[in-house]
Structure 1
Amino acid sequence: MNTKCQFLFARLILLFLSGCTVFPGSHISTTDKHFVEQEQQEGEAQFSEEVNIYALTPQQVAKYQTAKTSAQPNPELEASIAKYEYHVGPGDILNVTIWDHPELTIPAGSYRSSSESGNWVHADGTIFYPYIGTVEVEGKTVREIRAEIAKKLRKFIESPQVDVNVAAFRSKKAYITGEVENPGQQAITNIPLTLLDAINRSGGLGEDADWRNVTLTRNGKEETLSLYALMQRGDLTQNRLLQSGDIIHVPRNDTQKVFVMGEVKDPKLLKMDRSGMSLTEALSSVGGINELAADATGVFVIRSSNKKQESMADIYQLDIKDASALIIGTEFDLKPYDIVYVTAAPITRWNRLIQQLMPSITGFNELTEAALRVKTWP
């Protein structure tokens, strides 16, 4: 009988040692691998010491709110538009008219447009005009060009009446890229072109546009502007007068996402829409907290800190034991890559422990009963 018991336990040990063929699923073991230990440097803080926790209360939530934009004028832009003048450049086509001297004015005719019959500005910034020859026009306004031609024509014509206008604007362009309906270049003309005008001319924003983080690149310097503040809130300080070579980029909203995990009905990744997302909106989008398993005092928003030298992360805690506290969540705006985590209640964690132990306890009881049956086997 002892021999039979020893044989049975030996078989059980062999089965246990051959776990790679008995236990289902994959597993990573670090026992047979080279583990690189990293020593904590002197003065280096533990991760827990670099995390700040803030309570979301009616008195404190206002401190963490995103600054609200409001309608306001842009006097600097208005002044720039008021004194705006177009400066001619290479590639433009000018129409020069000398009144009472048709021999000096090339007629457009019924088969030639103004751009076809005009004076092309060459690459060196000059045009050729009869009698006076080469005229420097690059970087000048039409008024300056008119005065220059009139001055030179006085040698040949008494009191010349000169008129100059731009028949085709081809030298200066701004570029619209990203999530707009018709990205591409837009000509800078004698009519001032603003950021808002350029977006409208390009067909408006695309469905996946991130209109809060539009960038304007000028002379290698990048500026972030909010079309949300401009178009929804009337904040005209977000508008700009465009110059030649400006690049407007409207990014995709792929980075506008938050993660909702823990004891909620449907943990998932949420994509923020153009109007943003509050904490309460995020919870409602996943069906709310799991009322049977969640700890209502432990609704956390985990956010990477902007000041890495001071802390790694900031955690904001909302207590919603009283459901009316969710109104506080409506005042707390989430940011991209925020993590909303709802903790489990202590009883839930205890029940999970018991649930994990039950198969082992049951198996141990079965082994014990089997050993007893072998021992009493006649």
Structure 2
Amino acid sequence: MRRLASFFLALYLASCSGPYMGKDLFGADEFVLDSYKIREGKLSILEMEGYSVAELGDEDLEEYQDRIHEDDVLRIFLYHPKRHDIVQAVSEIGNSIGYQVVGGEISLPDISSVKVEGLTLGEAKKKIEDHYARHIQDMEVFVTYKDRIVRKVELAGLVSVPSVPVDGKIRLFDVLSKARVPTDANLFKSYVARDGALLPVDLNRLLKEGDMSQNIVMRGGDKIYIAEPSAASLMVMGEVARERVISLPSGFMSLRHALAEAGGIPFTGDRSYIQVIRGNICKPKIYTLSWEHVIHLPNDSLLLMPGDIVFVAAKPITEWNRFISQLLPAFGGIEFIGKQCGSWGIFVP
């Protein structure tokens, strides 16, 4: 009977799903400090996840003048009181086919090629006048666009338009307004890319909190991706009404809100052991909190982030009741075998 009791005790201990009780646990004070970091937004959360994040520069927020690019076609007119021949020749070409930027340069009658790529229209006008001044004094130049490739921002994901043109003044908020981003989009996982690199922009702070420090000026070739609501999530497990995965469109959620989404903690749950498992599964950071923390601390002091697992342990009596309920069929089987063996003349201690 002692061996049988030892077997049942081992089975009971193996079946328990209690809280982790190691030495490397963190308490509510550490969880609150980390919540302050989460409250700072996406960039702080990424740093907590181990990513190196840069900051926006002043130039990202400054408007810029539109500049001439390769393959743009310019319309150029001249004025000179005496050289009507050159004025007419330049005007005819400008009206018919224009002056295309090839290799960064344009070719005009009677002067060498002029490099105009990267210049504003005003700068190009001055440079062409300087070239003519070497041969003809008092030549006045007028430069406009005849045709050009439209510079635009490309959009993907949960958006209604594939692109929005830029002009050196349009900003991120305006582009997102034109794209009609849905209210439930996952702004934490959405991003803005420029020249193959992600920009350190927090779309949630811009759209939900009105933080204009994130409202950068958009440039041609920028790419914006708007993620679906479930792109970032956390899990609530253990003794809750409904174990579930919860989407985090803003990149964070209060612990109280997460427990409410899971239907709360039933009477079988141990409210003194609410654990949050965060980080790498091989070496996670585990916090232990109680129901007193949940109901008395402010919501923004107990914040969860993407990838977190909330685990609510079962009460010891709950584990014992489940253990007994699992054993009852086994005891019934043992009693049946004992009766059968007795009828066969076999003694079972």
Q: How many residues align?
A: 306
The answer on whether the counterparts of 1:277 and 1:333 sit within 8 Å (CA) in structure 2 is: yes
For residues 176 and 345 of structure 1, do their structure 2 counterparts lie closer, same or farther at Cα, with a shift above 3 Å needed? same
For 2:312, the equivalent position in structure 1 comes to: 342
Measure the CA separation in 2 of the matches of 1:48 and 1:317. Answer: 9
CA offsets 1:223-268 (integer angstroms, 9 cap, x no match): 3321111122232332333344433333444431111111111111
Pair 1:129 & 2:100 matched: no
The answer on whether the counterparts of 1:299 and 1:341 sit within 8 Å (CA) in structure 2 is: yes
Pair 1:103 & 2:88 matched: yes
Which residue, 144, 162, 182 being the options, matches 1:165?
144
For 1:222, the equivalent position in structure 2 comes to: 198
Q: Residue 355 of structure 1 aligns to a residue in which SS?
A: helix
Measure the CA separation in 1 of the matches of 2:166 and 2:248. Answer: 35
For residues 275 and 222 of structure 1, do their structure 2 counterparts lie closer, same or farther at Cα, with a shift above 3 Å needed? closer
Pair 1:326 & 2:302 matched: no
Measure the CA separation in 2 of the matches of 1:118 and 1:175. Answer: 30
How far apart are residue 188 of structure 1 and its match? 4.4
Measure the CA separation in 2 of the matches of 1:171 and 1:63. Answer: 45
Letter of the 1:297 counterpart: S
For 1:196, the equivalent position in structure 2 comes to: 173
Q: How does 1:304-319 map to 2 (within 5 A)?
A: 304=279, 312-319=283-290
The answer on whether the counterparts of 1:301 and 1:317 sit within 8 Å (CA) in structure 2 is: yes
Q: Residue 336 of structure 1 aligns to a residue in which SS?
A: coil
The answer on whether the counterparts of 2:76 and 2:99 sit within 8 Å (CA) in structure 1 is: no
The answer on whether the counterparts of 2:206 and 2:212 sit within 8 Å (CA) in structure 1 is: yes
CA offsets 1:291-334 (integer angstroms, 9 cap, x no match): 2x1111111111115xx9xx8111222211x5x84243723121
For residues 246 and 154 of structure 1, do their structure 2 counterparts lie closer, same or farther at Cα, with a shift above 3 Å needed? same
For residues 167 and 80 of structure 1, do their structure 2 counterparts lie closer, same or farther at Cα, with a shift above 3 Å needed? farther
For 1:52, the equivalent position in structure 2 comes to: 24
Which residue, 128, 133, 140 being the options, matches 1:149?
128
Letter of the 2:26 counterpart: Y
For 1:90, the equivalent position in structure 2 comes to: 70
For 1:177, the equivalent position in structure 2 comes to: 156
Which residue, 49, 66, 80 being the options, matches 2:62?
80
For residues 313 and 60 of structure 1, do their structure 2 counterparts lie closer, same or farther at Cα, with a shift above 3 Å needed? closer
For residues 170 and 258 of structure 1, do their structure 2 counterparts lie closer, same or farther at Cα, with a shift above 3 Å needed? same
How far apart are residue 133 of structure 1 and its match? 6.2
Q: Residue 258 of structure 2 aligns to a residue in which SS?
A: helix
Letter of the 1:141 counterpart: T
Higher mean C-alpha displacement, 344-353 vs 265-274: 265-274
The answer on whether the counterparts of 1:89 and 1:121 sit within 8 Å (CA) in structure 2 is: no
TM-score by length of 2: 0.73
Q: Residue 246 of structure 2 aligns to a residue in which SS?
A: strand
How far apart are residue 282 of structure 1 and its match? 1.1
The answer on whether the counterparts of 1:55 and 1:316 sit within 8 Å (CA) in structure 2 is: yes
The answer on whether the counterparts of 1:278 and 1:334 sit within 8 Å (CA) in structure 2 is: yes
The answer on whether the counterparts of 1:194 and 1:242 sit within 8 Å (CA) in structure 2 is: yes
The answer on whether the counterparts of 2:188 and 2:249 sit within 8 Å (CA) in structure 1 is: no
The answer on whether the counterparts of 1:96 and 1:118 sit within 8 Å (CA) in structure 2 is: no
User: Which runs of no fewer than 5 residues in structure 2 stay unpaired?
Assistant: 1-19, 42-55
The answer on whether the counterparts of 2:187 and 2:249 sit within 8 Å (CA) in structure 1 is: no
CA offsets 1:206-234 (integer angstroms, 9 cap, x no match): 56633124434334443332111112223
TM-score by length of 1: 0.68
Q: Residue 225 of structure 1 aligns to a residue in which SS?
A: coil
Computed over aligned residues only, the root mean square deviation of the Cα atoms, in angstroms, reads 3.6
Share of identical aligned residues, percent? 25
How far apart are residue 63 of structure 1 and its match? 4.7
For 2:52, the equivalent position in structure 1 comes to: none
Pair 1:367 & 2:346 matched: no
Measure the CA separation in 2 of the matches of 1:64 and 1:214. Answer: 22
For residues 365 and 327 of structure 1, do their structure 2 counterparts lie closer, same or farther at Cα, with a shift above 3 Å needed? same
Measure the CA separation in 1 of the matches of 2:244 and 2:61. Answer: 49
Q: Residue 324 of structure 2 aligns to a residue in which SS?
A: helix
The answer on whether the counterparts of 1:169 and 1:188 sit within 8 Å (CA) in structure 2 is: no
Measure the CA separation in 1 of the matches of 2:128 and 2:229. Answer: 53
Measure the CA separation in 2 of the matches of 1:213 and 1:278. Answer: 18
Measure the CA separation in 2 of the matches of 1:85 and 1:142. Answer: 9
The answer on whether the counterparts of 2:67 and 2:118 sit within 8 Å (CA) in structure 1 is: yes
For 1:139, the equivalent position in structure 2 comes to: 118
Measure the CA separation in 2 of the matches of 1:122 and 1:325. Answer: 65
For residues 348 and 188 of structure 1, do their structure 2 counterparts lie closer, same or farther at Cα, with a shift above 3 Å needed? same
Q: Residue 337 of structure 1 aligns to a residue in which SS?
A: coil
